Structure 1
Amino acid sequence: MCMVQDGTKVLLMNRPDKRGFPGYIAPGGKVDFPESIVNGAIREVREETGLIVKDIIYKGLDEFCEPDQGLRYMVFNYLATSFEGELLSNPPEGELLWVEIEDALKLPMQDWFKRRFPLFFEPGTFELSFVWDERNNETIGQTIKHYGADKVKIHN
Structure 2
Amino acid sequence: MCMVQDGTKVLLMNRPDKLGFPGYIAPGGKVDFPESIVNGAIREVREETGLIIKDIIYKGLDEFCEPEKGLRYMVFNYLATSFEGDILENPPEGELLWVEIEEALKLPMQDWFKRRFPLFFEQGTFEMSFVWNEKSNETLEKTIKNYGVGQFNHINEQ
TM-score (norm 1): 0.99
Deviation at 1:115, TM superposition (A): 0.1
Q: Which residue of 1 aligns with 2:8?
A: 8
Does the residue aligned with 1:112 lie in a helix, a strand or coil?
helix
Q: Which residue of 1 aligns with 2:118?
A: 118
Letter in 2 for 1:121: F
Q: Which residue of 2 aligns with 1:18?
A: 18
Q: Please show how residues 1-150 of structure 1 align to structure 2 within 5 Å.
A: 1-150=1-150
Deviation at 1:155, TM superposition (A): 1.8
Structure-2 separation of matches of 1:29 and 1:135: 25
Q: Percent identity over the alignment?
A: 85
Letter in 1 for 2:59: K
Deviations 1:58-95 (A, max 9, x none): 00000000000000000000000000001100000000
- Give the length in aligned residue pairs: 156
Unaligned ranges ≥5, structure 1: none
Moved >2 Å (runs of 4+): none
Letter in 1 for 2:27: P
Structure-1 separation of matches of 2:49 and 2:136: 37
Letter in 2 for 1:43: R
Structure-2 separation of matches of 1:78 and 1:89: 24
Structure-2 separation of matches of 1:133 and 1:89: 40
TM-score (norm 2): 0.98
Structure-2 separation of matches of 1:45 and 1:39: 10
Unaligned ranges ≥5, structure 2: none
